[in-house]
Amino acid sequence: MPIDQFGAAIERGVGITPLFAVFDSHDGITFEHAPLGTPSGDIRLMPVSDQVVPLAGQPGFAWVPGRQVAADGSAWPYDQRGVLERQVSRAASLGLEFLAGYELEFHLSRADDGDGDDVRPIYDGPSYGPAKMLAVDAFAEQLLRDLDRNGVPIGQFHGEYGPGQFEFNIAPTDPVTAADRQLLARQTVHAAARAHGLRASFAPLVTLGQVGNGWHLHTSLSRAGTNLLSGGDGPASLTAEGGAYLAGLLRDLPAIVAVSAPSVCSLQRLRPGYWCGAYGFWGVENREAALRLVPTTPLLGAGHANVELKPSDASANPYLALAAVMGAGLSGIEDGLTPPGPVQENPDTWSDERRAEHGIHRLPTTVEQQLRALLTNQRIRSALGEELTDAFRAVRASDAARAADRDAADVVRSYRWLY
């Protein structure tokens, strides 16, 4: 909107259709969620006015996160930012504070790459050599400058394993700000790529058979300034509450992943041996684990300990994914759970019997399995809200129907430039 209209938008918001809650991944609208079963109605999008960011890579434009409210200004059950804010309030009521941060992986190719199989990564390999950074030095310089000017603090930027794949990590902060920054960071990447004749993709898979892109979600929790994931008597120095948090994540992992890696393309990415967390277990610095505990060390200090959720990617809504993680972990604390011991191997190399002995199972591999895990989990449903959960179900079912008669490579192509 023009700047001179922004004051009015702060007071009254901007009118949008309530049906945004039932748009599927390819912009189809499903009417299979009864409360949003007609094209009638209107809601308001309210800018979070103290979060306006003039975009360094898009001169003349600014960005601001928003909240969705009903037409009369009351709470709207499908407002994803509000869902996360409720979990933050829940944590505060228990005397807990969270930090969250993201590692964002993305693929860079030539700007004229299309929807076929001729994607040309900006660099083929070796994966981690200095020549990979040389191929994108001008882009990287602008990206780092623009992220800084846009208020997105990062720790590092580097080449990743896949052809044309790169990664940076966003510094941890409170959960709502973390989700805001994750979206702003992706906007910043796309603008910098365009400026250098490149095209960026955060899609779970860019080419069938290659490694995929994750946005690994790191969380930690503290009480009275003390990190609960270190300094205790549990495995890897977990405190009792830190262990209960991890156990809560493990208990609800299939339902969490239904939200954090929800697309048909996500399911094609979640394969054993690709460090993306195909099995439901936790380990200490085990990159094959769905839940990787990053422990405290003498170099990093006690406050560094955190839990990384590997099966998460850019097809997820970051507010909902974080809300699901927090909801599961807080329930684990409330229920006083104790985690099993960590696993330091790749259980895909084990026999079925050995995995069963350790209670390790593949995470859902189909949309139907994911939805069953979500809809039968009252804790995650409660964290998201019943209305939003059913809208989410309808959208996932619509995506599944769209992909039903397409081969795997065609599905990957259809998601390539959505994110």
Residue 197 maps to a domain: yes
| pLDDT confidence of residue 127 | 84
Question: How far is Cα 65 from Cα 375, in angstroms, rounded to an integer?
Answer: 29
Residues 53 and 199 grouped into a single domain: no
Query: Which of 76, 107, 138 finishes a domain?
Result: 76
Residues 54 and 115 grouped into a single domain: no
| pLDDT confidence of residue 117 | 66
CA-CA-CA-CA dihedral for 335, 341, 346, 347, to nearest 10: -70
Residues 22 and 67 grouped into a single domain: yes
Residues 295 and 389 grouped into a single domain: yes
Q: What is the CATH number of the domain that holds 236?
A: 3.30.590.10
Residues 72 and 156 grouped into a single domain: no
| pLDDT confidence of residue 113 | 63
Residues 10 and 115 grouped into a single domain: no
Q: What is the CATH number of the domain that holds 23?
A: 3.10.20.70
**Contact residues for 107 (Cβ-Cβ < 8 A; gap 6+):** 119, 121, 162, 163, 164, 165, 166, 200, 201, 202, 203, 206, 213
If we measure between CA atoms, which residue out of 335, 395, 407, 344 comes closest to residue 371?
A: 395
For the chain, residues with pLDDT lower than 50 are: none
Residue 157 maps to a domain: yes
For 161-175, the pLDDT digits (tens) are 999 999 999 999 999
Query: Which of 76, 98, 124 finishes a domain?
Result: 76
| pLDDT confidence of residue 115 | 62
Residues 59 and 120 grouped into a single domain: no
Domain extent for 332: 86-415
Task: Look up the pTM and report it.
Answer: 0.95
Q: Which two tokens stand for residue 102?
A: 């993201």
| pLDDT confidence of residue 62 | 96
Q: How many domains is the chain built from?
A: 2
Residues 15 and 127 grouped into a single domain: no
Residues 320 and 181 grouped into a single domain: yes
Residue 265 maps to a domain: yes
Residue 81 maps to a domain: no
For 31-52, the pLDDT digits (tens) are 999 999 999 999 999 999 999 9
Residue 291 maps to a domain: yes
pLDDT, mean over the chain? 94
Residues 34 and 144 grouped into a single domain: no
Residue 102 maps to a domain: yes
Query: Which of 28, 50, 76 finishes a domain?
Result: 76
Residues 11 and 62 grouped into a single domain: yes
Residues 33 and 136 grouped into a single domain: no
